[in-house]
Amino acid sequence: MTAGVEPDAAALATQVTALPQVAGLHSGRFGEIATLLPGRRVPGVRIRPTEITIGVTGRYPATAAEIGAAVRGALGPADRPVHIHIGDVAAPATTVVATIIEEIP
């Protein structure tokens, strides 16, 4: 983020969801972590003049400290405090392995 330039909520959401420690965005218990834009809503990112709050669902086995550091690193330097809210933790990503069984004539 560049100092003096208003952050783009959708761009922040894209940067955060690309992290391996983050399973997705989390808008809080009552949906309070969100940015309202003309005609749409960006859940999980709340930008205020005095602070930025990012709500995430972490991915196990990442710790809260690792998730927070990864999110802050993805956002870069900010001109206001950045708060990270970890609303839930998801199971590790699984890899689906397809097995091909050939029929023997």
Residues 54, 85 contacting (CB under 8 angstroms): yes
Mean pLDDT for the stretch of residues 58-87: 94
pLDDT in the model for residue 101? 57
Q: Has residue 44 been placed in a domain?
A: yes
Q: Has residue 20 been placed in a domain?
A: yes
Q: How many domains does the chain have?
A: 1
Band (pLDDT 50/70/90 cuts) for residue 62 is very high
Band (pLDDT 50/70/90 cuts) for residue 48 is very high
Q: Has residue 27 been placed in a domain?
A: yes
Range of the domain at 80: 9-90
Region of 42 on the Ramachandran plot (φ > 0 left; ψ -120 to 50 alpha; else beta): beta
Q: Has residue 51 been placed in a domain?
A: yes
Q: Render pLDDT for 74-99 as a digit per residue (tens, 0 to 9).
A: 998 888 999 999 999 998 876 555 55
